[in-house]
Amino acid sequence: MDEALEVVDVVADAGLEGAVVWLFRLLGLLLVAAGLGVWLLTDAGVLLLPALLIVAGAVLLVVPQILLAVAELA
């Protein structure tokens, strides 16, 4: 956990937090689109994979901004 906080501190010191947040948002958007595509465009009876992709994408859309804000406060 200390290593992750150290990486966040380095990113914040370098002024790249905006770029990192947008990178994670794009990755999250891609995961949500992939989950919706698997769910709507295939005949998969199991909905676990699309649900996991959509949830992981939603988390990646929201969490990076919150984590960077908390790391700056700590």
The CB density around residue 59, as the number of other CB atoms within 10 Å, is 13
Report d(CA 20, CA 17) in Å as an integer: 5
- pLDDT given for residue 57 in this prediction: 93
Q: What is the mean pLDDT of residues 58-62?
A: 89
Residue-wise pLDDT for 21-47, tens only, equals 888 889 999 999 999 998 888 876 678
